[in-house]
Amino acid sequence: MIIVMEQNADEKNVGRVIESIEAHGLKSHIYRGTERTVIGVIGDTVGTGVNGFRSMPGVENVVPILKPFKIASRKYMPEGSVVKVGNVEIGGNEVVVMAGPCAIESDEQLLTIAKSVKNSGAKILRGSAFKPRTSPYEFQGLGEEGLKIMRKVKKETGMIVETEVMDIRDVPMVADYVDILRVGARNMQNFDLLKELGKIDKPVIIKRGMSATIRELMLAAEYIMKEGNHRVILCERGIRTFETATRSTLDVGAVPVLKQETHLPVIIDPSHAAGNRQFVGSLAKAGVAAGADGLLIEVHHQPEKALCDGPQSVTTEMFSELMPQLRAVAAAVGRVIE
């Protein structure tokens, strides 16, 4: 159940509602929006007297939520949430472009790509130090060494940086080096990892598992949010279907569905969906047209030499040509890409 406070409700009103929630043996989650405070009630509210809350001072409305995801639900925050990282807002009017290599390979590689994508208009640098590879014989990433490179490049370029965390034991270390942590598709239902990410004070991008439903993605986000971290960004990266012409099938429909069902920002990763750099631009444009709040694009200055995902990495030149097209699509749907 969600308790929506009146616009002029004060701290005393909020405090009394919380006391009452706790007195019922339930837990509360407070969200202080720009307009009003909303209190999520967690636990079994059946028989707790919804009407009792409704008549408390400062309470405007009590909304029962029957869906299994509560904090992530749009009802929890009808105006939509905005995830702020540094001077960038994800979920606002701007479509935030995140770009960079699949894997961090060297100082020179990351810095070259970072400078180029920044120059083209990317706000956030992506790059993985821990790689979840299908084969154990493939490049597994540079580990902490890669994170050190990322930190250096962040300092040098002033970019916000994001990376994947695979192992629950690495969460504090990774959170120390980067601005945004990413859960890869293969870990979307690693519930212990999700719970741990719920305890940190950094935004988390959670990618849809390649065989996960939209509902399962929302519930995975709920795992993180339930622990207290509400700065969650959902990412559609393509799902497994019978089609093999692309690496995965981009589920563009997931964007409007997720935007309707949740208040969380939704981004698109066209690279892992396409699996081929020739198709990345079209999928990226489709994502923006569908209402995505951001894009996560793999870019490499020498994709033929890339240690991971070279075939789907667009060149720095392709990326710089794509950006004006993305700006035009964004403008057509009332959004902006700076």
| Structure tokens, 304 | 């033929």
Chain residue at closest Cβ approach to ligand PEP: 184
Question: Rule CB under 6 A: is residue 132 a binding residue for ligand PEP?
Answer: yes
Contacts (CB under 5 A) with Mn ion, residues 294-313: 309
Residue among 40, 141, 146, 184 that touches ligand PEP (CB under 6 A): 184
Question: Rule CB under 6 A: is residue 272 a binding residue for ligand PEP?
Answer: yes
Q: b vs e for 8-23, b when ≥16 Cβ sit within 10 Å of the residue's Cβ?
A: ebeeebbeebbebbee
Contact 60, 5 (CB under 8 A): yes
Question: Rule CB under 6 A: is residue 207 a binding residue for ligand PEP?
Answer: yes
**Following DSSP, what letter does each residue of 231-277 receive, concatenated?**
-EEEEE--B--S--SSSSB--TTHHHHHHHHB-S-EEE-HHHHH-SH
The residue (of 40 and 101) whose beta carbon lies closer to ligand PEP is 101
| 321 contact partners, CB below 8 Å, separation of at least 6 | none
Contacts (CB under 5 A) with Mn ion, residues 101-140: 102
Helix-strand-coil percent breakdown of the chain, rounded to 5? Answer: 40, 20, 40
Contact track, ligand PEP, 98-127, x by CB under 6 A = ----x-------------------------
Question: Rule CB under 6 A: is residue 185 a binding residue for ligand PEP?
Answer: yes
Minimum CB–partner distance for residue 91 and ligand PEP (Å): 20
Counting DSSP H helices and E strands in the chain, the numbers are 11, 15
The residue (of 2 and 280) whose beta carbon lies closer to Mn ion is 280
Residue among 20, 37, 48, 128 that touches ligand PEP (CB under 6 A): 128
Which positions lie near ligand PEP, rule CB under 6 A? Answer: 102, 128, 132, 184-186, 207, 237, 269, 272
